Structure 1
């Protein structure tokens, strides 16, 4: 989504050694990287600009012909990125999804399986346009810190619900918020 644009534009101004930074995505729509719907395009246009362009970027969209084959390809490509990640930046939808771990998705149980190896999976969300490739929960939690970045009153309400006990399948972001392995910071802007 477009939520992180302002954050990216601020972050790219930070005086850090960008050549030492690796960046990837938590998820990607299975569209060309030139598409307005592409998360990679968003990152390239709003974060990897100026000195930040020196960062090493590993996208999830790839030459594979299907999202399923693409998820396997992306899993292999991500082995180049040092782990644990320093920070995983996540958003959250008004339906309680994070990355492309959508409520009602046929891939949700596989995506939330913390016993799985860190990697990617193909997701055909029932209510979201475009098939997607998403990091699974194990990969998202292979980090020193997770940051959940949300904006707006509606998402604040969803976040408040997600903090309470309840079905993770109903609000998949609960899997991130309620786990105890990795610290989670939440940043909200009205």
Structure 2
């Protein structure tokens, strides 16, 4: 009688029924002992495979435990840093170290607005195609200056440009020779 491992691992395996079948098929004690030896060898083989799997799973368990420990340490450090940050923020908020905005009179606000409008109007006069600079109410000039456009391959100067950095846009304009008027560069 042939041994089949699937037969033993089946859900409907009945050991008593199996023994009855084997005893009916086997003739004599020698054949029964040979079958018993085959079953014993299969049991030892299964036991060895089970031990191997347990060892492999144990090593994976150890590696996973190490990773968990490492992650736990990092989480503790992050928690500590967040607690420190929260403490610093609450200290800053309660100490009032942030400077309060200076209170400006309506006259000062009007002067500042006039200065902003005059500056943008001057730029609009100097740069062709920029008549709409005053259309945006909160637009302010942050920086302006001359730049040199370079050839990207040879790094040599191509020509001089003038840049205006406003709160919402960057204007780059080229100079018209012998004039105070500047052309807006089209991209």
The reply to whether TM is greater than 0.5 is: no
Q: TM-score, normalised by structure 2?
A: 0.15
Name the one with the larger helix percent. Answer: 2
Q: TM-score, normalised by structure 1?
A: 0.15
- Answer 1 or 2: higher relative contact order, Cα 8 Å, separation at least 6: 1
